[in-house]
Amino acid sequence: MTKFSSQLANVVKGIKTLGLSPQIVGGVIERNSEQFIIAAKQNIQDDTGNLSRSIGFINKNAKYKFSAVRLIGARVYGGYRGYHAYIYEQGTAERKTKTGASKGKMPASNYMRRAFDSHSPAFIANTEREIVKIIETNARKAGMNTTK
């Protein structure tokens, strides 16, 4: 184990003793991620509303080791109908029938990319602020000095 990795291991142990579990981090991430969902829904203009209703948190926690992992996208289970999400996001090339008649093309709307690009700085700042606040609060409860 290198000096850096042993120092990092000590930091991780220290953070765990201050009550920063994956569940707490996951809650902070989820609260701050809701802005992506709202923005993505506002960026979509689908006729039926099925796609915008399907945008939300995708439950994939069983697949990942840590519960702090959350995915946001179009849901296709539980009554949601977001199967065509990738078409809206990426668009399509010109489509033709067997006889050669044009069926048109669909330009990419990039609704998720635009939501991510526009809200990432605020997400990072808010998440960092909340986690620092949790650490400082728990450190004070543990009798540690948190002043700079």
| pLDDT at residue 79, as a whole number | 85
- Could you read off the pLDDT tens digit of each residue along the chain, which spans 148 residues? 555 556 666 666 666 666 677 778 778 888 899 999 999 999 988 888 899 999 998 876 555 555 556 688 888 888 888 888 888 889 888 988 999 898 889 888 899 999 999 999 999 899 889 988 888 888 888 777 767 6
For residue 49, give both structure tokens. 């509303």
| Residue ranges of domains in the chain | 20-82+108-141
Predicted confidence at residue 60, as pLDDT, reads 63
pLDDT at 114: 92
First to last CA, the chain: 31
Alpha helices in the chain (DSSP H): 3-17, 22-43, 50-54, 85-90, 111-141
